[in-house]
């Protein structure tokens, strides 16, 4: 368990980097929308994992989609990481959470990295690079910063790129953030849980795995050459779900010898076996957004029996940090499964 003061400092480091912290709201992924759905496991899922939501019985699911930015301003059309936090509602009031973003790999390996990153990746006035400088950057194998959006005066990109220049492990994550763009819909993006988890099969075999949600409608971004719109993702989802449900496939990649198990900056080879674990069908935007979106508190360590966290230090650190944040904003209390009572 990560020290409570470290959890506090992690959340404070995020708040200190915000242009406009809003007490009572999440310091990151501030703007979001809660959606209702059902998850049905595939036939093969139960042979890999004994967790209740993989036994084939449909389970209710609550999902919160979000923009990655911290703060109250809605800039849906800006390039930004998006979040998809899912709660599988199990029997006896228990739950299992799965939190993913559109980023395949994270940019820090542990809390010390995170504190250093937070110091360097401060907001700074946007500097628009001329085309000549961009060519120079490319020739030096540096990633040229993108142009600011209309109204975007401060950016974290320059600091993050400086950090990535100093730390090779951060490059994949930081470069992905730079290129990520904006989805046409929250349900036209793929979301990755980044960390390794251990799943237990009915025969007792434990396997290291990584989970991702793949949208059945396919991934589609907005045209970066068109002026970005500030607010469309919630309305798009509302209208879409009134017409037709949206679906995601839960994919589980199985790790092999030599794969990074405790480091979420390192990708696994694309040749790893992937199992389709089930389908999530989203049916409606929740009526009560306070309960199903704003006050809900997800935690990547809230896991059904049959799924266990790896030793990834970032995953461990998120346990307490999300609790600190939840308490600060008055979110719903965290409920542990009985055999893991804290
Ligand atoms: C040291 C690393 C990290 C720290 C300190 C951190 C911190 C936080 C905090 C404080 C919140 C708000 C929690 C709340 O108030 O309920 C949050 C939300 C979130 N984080 Fe992280 N996070 C970290 C890494 C990650 C990673 C690796 C991912 C993706 C796999 C991720 C995805 C998300 C998402 C999607 C949300 C929004 C969840 C929701 O809708 O309630 N975070 N994070």
Q: What is the mean pLDDT of each run of 10 residues along the chain (342 residues)?
A: 89 92 92 98 98 97 96 91 97 94 98 97 78 79 72 80 94 93 97 98 98 98 91 97 98 98 97 98 97 94 97 97 95 59 36
Instruction: Report whether 14 contacts 28 (CB < 8 A).
Output: yes
User: Does the Cβ of 298 fall within 6 Å of ligand 1?
Assistant: yes
**Ligand 1: residue whose CA is nearest its atom 26:** 106
Give me the pLDDT at residue 246, please. 98
Bridge partners (DSSP) of residue 249 are: 214, 279
- Residue 221: DSSP 8-state: B
Write out the two tokens for 180: 């990520």
Angle subtended at Cα 158 by Cα 154 and Cα 162, rounded to the nearest 5 degrees: 155
Instruction: Report whether 19 contacts 154 (CB < 8 A).
Output: yes
User: Does the Cβ of 121 fall within 6 Å of ligand 1?
Assistant: no
Separation of CA 47 and ligand 1 centre (Å): 30
CB within 8 Å of 313: residues ≥ 6 apart: 109, 110, 111, 262
Separation of CA 229 and ligand 1 centre (Å): 25
Give me the pLDDT at residue 316, please. 97
Separation of CA 294 and ligand 1 centre (Å): 14
Give me the pLDDT at residue 341, please. 37
Instruction: Report whether 165 contacts 117 (CB < 8 A).
Output: no
Give me the pLDDT at residue 126, please. 75
Q: CA–CA separation, 20 vs 29, rounded Å?
A: 13
Top mutation candidate among 99, 107, 213 for ligand 1, by most atoms within 8 Å of CB: 99
CB within 8 Å of 54: residues ≥ 6 apart: 41, 45, 46, 48, 277, 278, 306
Packing angle of the helix pair 111-120, 157-166 (nearest 10 deg): 130
**Ligand 1: residue whose CA is nearest its atom 37:** 29
- DSSP E strands in 7-94: the ranges are 32-41, 59-67, 82-89
The full set of domains in the chain, from first to last, is 32-103+181-337 (2.40.180.10)
CB within 8 Å of 271: residues ≥ 6 apart: none
- CA 5 distance to own-chain centroid: 24
Q: What is the pTM of this model?
A: 0.94
């Amino acid at each position: 368990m990560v020290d409570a003061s470290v959890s506090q400092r992690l959340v404070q480091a995020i708040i200190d980097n915000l242009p406009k912290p809003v007490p009572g709201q999440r310091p990151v992924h501030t703007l979001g929308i809660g959606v209702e759905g059902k998850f049905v496991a595939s036939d093969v899922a139960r042979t890999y994992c004994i967790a209740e939501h993989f036994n084939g019985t449909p389970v209710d699911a609550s999902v919160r989609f979000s923009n990655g930015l911290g703060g109250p301003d809605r800039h849906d059309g800006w390039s930004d990481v998006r979040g998809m936090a899912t709660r599988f509602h199990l029997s006896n009031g228990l739950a299992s959470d799965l939190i993913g973003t559109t980023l395949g790999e994270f940019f820090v390996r542990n809390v010390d990295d995170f504190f250093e990153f937070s110091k360097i990746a401060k907001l700074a006035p946007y500097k628009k690079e001329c085309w000549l400088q961009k060519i120079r950057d490319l020739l030096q194998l540096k990633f040229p910063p993108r142009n600011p959006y209309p109204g975007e005066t401060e950016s974290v990109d320059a600091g993050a790129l400086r950090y990535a220049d100093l730390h090779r492990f951060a490059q994949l994550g930081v470069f992905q953030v730079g290129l990520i763009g904006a989805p046409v819909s929250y349900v036209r993006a793929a979301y990755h849980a980044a960390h390794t988890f251990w799943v237990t099969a009915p025969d007792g075999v434990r396997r290291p795995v990584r989970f991702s949600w793949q949208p059945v409608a396919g991934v589609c971004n907005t045209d970066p050459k068109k002026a970005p719109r500030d607010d469309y993702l919630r309305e798009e989802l509302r209208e879409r779900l009134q017409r037709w449900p949206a679906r995601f496939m839960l994919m589980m990649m199985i790790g092999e010898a030599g794969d990074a198990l405790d480091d979420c900056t390192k990708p696994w080879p694309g040749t790893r076996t992937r199992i389709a674990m089930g389908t999530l069908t989203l049916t409606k935007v929740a009526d009560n957004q306070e309960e199903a979106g704003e006050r809900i508190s997800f935690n990547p360590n809230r896991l059904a029996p049959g799924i266990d966290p790896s030793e990834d230090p970032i995953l461990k650190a998120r346990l307490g940090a999300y609790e600190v944040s939840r308490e600060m904003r008055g979110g719903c209390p965290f409920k542990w499964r009985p055999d893991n009572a804290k």
